[in-house]
Structure 1
Amino acid sequence: MLKIGCHLSASKGYLAMGKQAAEIGANTFQFFTRNPRGGAVKAFDPEDIAAYRTFAEEHGFFPILAHAPYTLNACAAKENLRTFAHETMADDLNRLSYIPGSMYNFHPGSHVQQGAEVGIQYICEMLNEILKPDQPTTVLLETMAGKGSEVGRSFEEIRAILDGVEQQQVMGVCLDTCHVFDAGYDIVNRLDDVLEEFDRVIGLNRLKAIHLNDSMNPFGSHKDRHQKIGQGTIGLEAMERIINHPILRDLPFYLETPNDVSGYAKEIALLKGLYHEEV
């Protein structure tokens, strides 16, 4: 079974997102934990969470993926921004503890001319202060396209962060197809080679989720502009190979394409049609 979802609005709560996902043929979903361009967050609603957990169990949902706001920059040059990142992630993980098995994805951040080594040190310090050995949420580092001073533009930078985290058992990686293609990893023509490199540098056991996005930009552009599935420079044939690859096919895929809900429904149906069910 293809584990497929898309990015939904959390404004109406978990149960509403679950119902919307089911209506468009999804069996998981992703959402922002709070205002993606700010930090405002909805009041905690344990009844909504309990209702969602019942709904998810009844409908066979796979683990959901919470996405940290873009404003969370763990390696910012300004201390107040790093403090905001720390407080935001700690609060997000506390909320997600009420949905065991969920995952939490975040962009490593931008070092802002401090250098990647300094940025990685700050990220590791934050994670080591927040993460607990018994937390029920897996924290995912997202692979980045490499624009500006982004940290996480290479598998080596992702590995360096992982190496600096004490609670290894709660860490993983989310591979974004648009980002790695823009970063110079040729998933169109050399998917096997890219996965071999990922395994050598990071370890495939760390790969927990896929952001499935086409790209508006050419290979190796180090930009970050997502495109609808099959309408970008990655293309539909490569997407079909990705969702059916023996290493990737059982992972959850989350769409972040420039779509409304009806557009996501069409993409989910398209991808389900391309997925080869095992006999």
Structure 2
Amino acid sequence: MTPFYIGSHLSVSKGFAAAAKDAVSIGANTFQFFTRNPRGSRAKALDEKDIAACAALMNEHTFGPLLAHAPYTLNAASKDEQTREFARMTMKDDLVRLEQLPCALYNFHPGSHVGQGAKQGIEWIASMLNEVIDPAQRTTVLLETMAGKGTEVGRSFEELRAIIDKVEHSEKLGVCLDTCHVHDAGYDIISDLDGVLAEFDHVIGLSRLRAVHLNDSLNPCGAKKDRHAKIGEGQIGTEALVRVINHPSLCHLPFFLETPNELPGYASEIALLRGRRAEEEPAG
């Protein structure tokens, strides 16, 4: 049977081993974490013993790949040169540090062009990726699908493809599909999931899809607002999200909840989704 890797966003402020224990406590077998303060720039020093303890827990509980998330302050599409330089330095440092961790996926929001146009924003994003990606790195860098609010780049599959086409070592690039974001961007994953995935495959290629952010949305399809909701409490709804986790083109991927929850809420959502997973092996 296809393994069902599902987890939530967890804090690693007390260490990676503590986060792995939290994941196990809520029924998860993976988790997402910020590489540093999501609104700042400092990165906590890594502890080799902590990383080894995390790896041991992951092995014991048959974890899927972890997902590292870049800070929100990273904006490689900005018209401000200092902001772009901060993005370059931060991502380069993150990618070096991630080589020490038991994970192989690094997700980031492509950025906002803030008025100079998506075409120029795409050029700057690709330029940064060409500078920071090392062809020898283990980590795959994921472009996240965006909702299209403001001047976000990545609101369409075509914009993500345009970035990928300009990156020299594009074999190190993939995509993280966010269900709230694509819904808010206007892709009808509720009544035409097959059609959306066929379009993704035509424009980008399903082989580049490496992770899914599983979120409900407070907004109707096409609202371009990006407001996450708990599973079943938004406009997408439980049934549509169950179809996502069971879709043959998606079911092998790791799923990460970014719903507005604490640990007990995540535990409830994970239990609900495990109960609706078509190929989930029975406990015991």
Identify the TM-score tier after normalising by the shorter chain.
Answer: over 0.9
In structure 1, stretches of 5+ residues that fail to align are none
Please say which of residues 172-181 and 37-46 is displaced more in the overlay.
37-46
Report the equivalent of 1:154. 156
SS at structure 2 position matched to 1:233? coil
Structure 2-normalised TM-score? 0.96
Kindly provide the CA deviation profile for residues 84-142 of structure 1, in whole angstroms up to 9, marking residues without a partner as x. 10111111111110125420000000001010010000001100001011101110000
SS at structure 2 position matched to 1:151? coil
Kindly provide the CA deviation profile for residues 24-45 of structure 1, in whole angstroms up to 9, marking residues without a partner as x. 1000000111111111221222
Q: Residues 1-279 of structure 1 correspond to what in structure 2 (within 5 A)?
A: 1-277=3-279
- The number of equivalent residue pairs is 279
> Displacement, 1:198?
0.1
- Percent identity between matched residues is 65
Give the letter aligned to residue 117 of structure 1: K
Kindly provide the CA deviation profile for residues 3-42 of structure 1, in whole angstroms up to 9, marking residues without a partner as x. 1010001111111111110111000000111111111221
Mapped to 1, the partners of 2:215 and 2:244 lie a distance apart of 11
> Displacement, 1:168?
1.4
In structure 2, stretches of 5+ residues that fail to align are none
Structure 1-normalised TM-score? 0.98
Mapped to 1, the partners of 2:211 and 2:35 lie a distance apart of 17
Mapped to 1, the partners of 2:8 and 2:95 lie a distance apart of 21
Give the root-mean-square deviation of aligned CA atoms.
1.0
Please say which of residues 50-59 and 129-138 is displaced more in the overlay.
50-59
Give the letter aligned to residue 182 of structure 1: D
Mapped to 2, the partners of 1:149 and 1:121 lie a distance apart of 15
SS at structure 2 position matched to 1:57? helix
> Displacement, 1:57?
1.3
Mapped to 1, the partners of 2:225 and 2:20 lie a distance apart of 32
Mapped to 2, the partners of 1:90 and 1:14 lie a distance apart of 21
Q: Give the conservation status (yes or no) of the 8 Å contact 1:24–1:264.
A: yes
Give the letter aligned to residue 276 of structure 2: L
